[in-house]
Amino acid sequence: MARNIRLDQIGDLYDEQVQELVKRTTLKWQSDLKTRTPANLGTPKDTGVLAQKWDVNITEPYVGRVFNNTEYAPAVIYGEDMPPSWQGQWRTRRGAVQGFPDLLGKEIATKDVPKLMRAIARGN
């Protein structure tokens, strides 16, 4: 059923929808980082600790943040602060793509955000 709103309420409705979109997109990104396989831009899983440590912060209305505070996350994700045993070579045993969270975010922005926005506009 269509929602009846006055013209002066359109801005508030749009504001609510954008905030809901930020929330849903952030939670989808976190979920995909935890569950997708490396070939599909997910977190490489050896013990599963890194994958389960993805967390979110949605404290501002239009900002959703996905982060991982695991000590070795920068090395596995971006090749930063690598241990000496890696001898300056970024690598994972599970075939991850370097910078996979950023690449996954771009994929979600192009493929999933339009679908999420349509669902929110329909009231789903």
Global confidence as pTM: 0.82
Cβ atoms of 49 and 100 closer than 8 Å: no
- pLDDT tens-place string over residues 74-120: 988 888 888 888 888 877 767 778 899 999 999 999 999 999 999 99
pLDDT of 36 reads 84
Q: Which of 86, 80, 123, 82 shows the shortest CA–CA distance to 101?
A: 80
pLDDT of 32 reads 93
- Integer CA distances (angstroms), 3 to 13, 15, 43, 122, 123, in order: 10, 15, 41, 10, 9
Cβ atoms of 77 and 71 closer than 8 Å: no
Amino acid at 36: R
The tokens of 45 are what? 């899983």
Signed CA dihedral, 22, 24, 27, 31: sign only? negative
**Residue 17 three-state SS:** helix
- pLDDT tens-place string over residues 4-30: 766 666 667 788 889 999 999 999 999
pLDDT of 97 reads 84
Task: Give 55's pLDDT tier (boundaries 50, 70, 90).
Answer: very high
